[in-house]
């Protein structure tokens, strides 16, 4: 069953809980499809009056912030042995090459790596634990974590929600053509957002 079809069968409270939980677990370092869940739920909220996009965005943001913070604490306590253990458990996501790439990003950009990492699938999983392993000051991590979580979760929810509203209106007029255009707009919006995040080059790195 497709993710959105499954979400459509459960109560709104369960949708909020699932979105917050999955994004939280992904943020603390477990490779789960947090973005897919969020996009699917946001589309559902545009077609299902019982799912409030504001509540959805708030739950997603909370999951992102809390999950990253837990990941930070785990990384700070576990250190590099934790990364080695994750590499054995999840070699596809925590290979030495991926860890090295993420570590270079953190060393170069500091707080900005945490903020913009929220928009990149690989860094979204690494951000919390790796910031802890590298012993980034928690207050700096928290600022970047909160801002990144709110912008990513809130922005994604808003964009996909309004795309869904427009798509529903088009579908009534143009049937499948409206759906195709809505999907194209949605995918393009996400790619543009990620591209801007990837190209952002701060003048100074957070220490």
Least-confidence region, from 92-96, 176-180, 192-196: 176-180
118-171 pLDDT tens trace:
887 777 777 888 888 888 888 889 999 999 999 999 888 888 888 776 655 544
Q: What is the distance, to the nearest Å, from the Cα of residue 75 to the centroid of all Cα atoms in its chain?
A: 19
Answer whether residue 31 shows pLDDT above 80. Answer: no
- Please state, in angstroms and rounded to a whole number, the distance separating the CA atoms of residues 100 and 116: 17
Distance, first Cα to last Cα, the chain: 45
Q: For residues 7 and 41, is the Cβ–Cβ distance under 8 A?
A: yes
pTM over 0.85: no
- For position 176, what pLDDT does the model report? 47
Over residues 6-27, mean pLDDT: 83
CA distance 50 to 197: 32
Task: Pick 11 or 94 by higher pLDDT.
Answer: 11
Q: Assess contact for 152 and 193: CB atoms under 8 A.
A: no
């Amino acid at each position: 069953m497709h993710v959105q079809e499954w979400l459509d069968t459960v109560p709104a409270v369960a949708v909020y809980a699932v979105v917050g939980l999955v994004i939280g677990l992904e943020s603390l370092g477990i490779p789960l499809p947090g973005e897919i869940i969020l996009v699917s739920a946001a589309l559902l909220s545009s077609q299902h009056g019982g799912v409030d996009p504001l509540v959805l965005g708030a739950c997603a943001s909370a999951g992102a912030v809390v999950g990253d913070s837990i990941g930070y604490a785990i990384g700070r306590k576990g250190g590099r042995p934790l990364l080695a253990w994750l590499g054995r458990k999840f070699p596809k996501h925590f290979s030495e090459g991926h860890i090295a790439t993420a570590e270079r990003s953190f060393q170069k950009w500091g707080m900005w790596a945490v903020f913009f990492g929220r928009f990149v699938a690989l860094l979204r999983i690494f951000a919390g634990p790796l910031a802890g392993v590298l012993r980034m000051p928690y207050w700096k991590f928290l600022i970047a974590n909160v801002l990144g979580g709110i912008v990513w979760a809130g922005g994604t929810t808003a964009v996909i929600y309004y795309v869904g509203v427009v798509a529903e209106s088009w579908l009534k007029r143009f049937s499948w053509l409206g759906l195709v255009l809505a999907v194209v707009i949605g995918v393009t919006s996400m790619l543009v957002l990620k591209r801007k995040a990837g190209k952002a080059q701060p003048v100074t790195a957070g220490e």
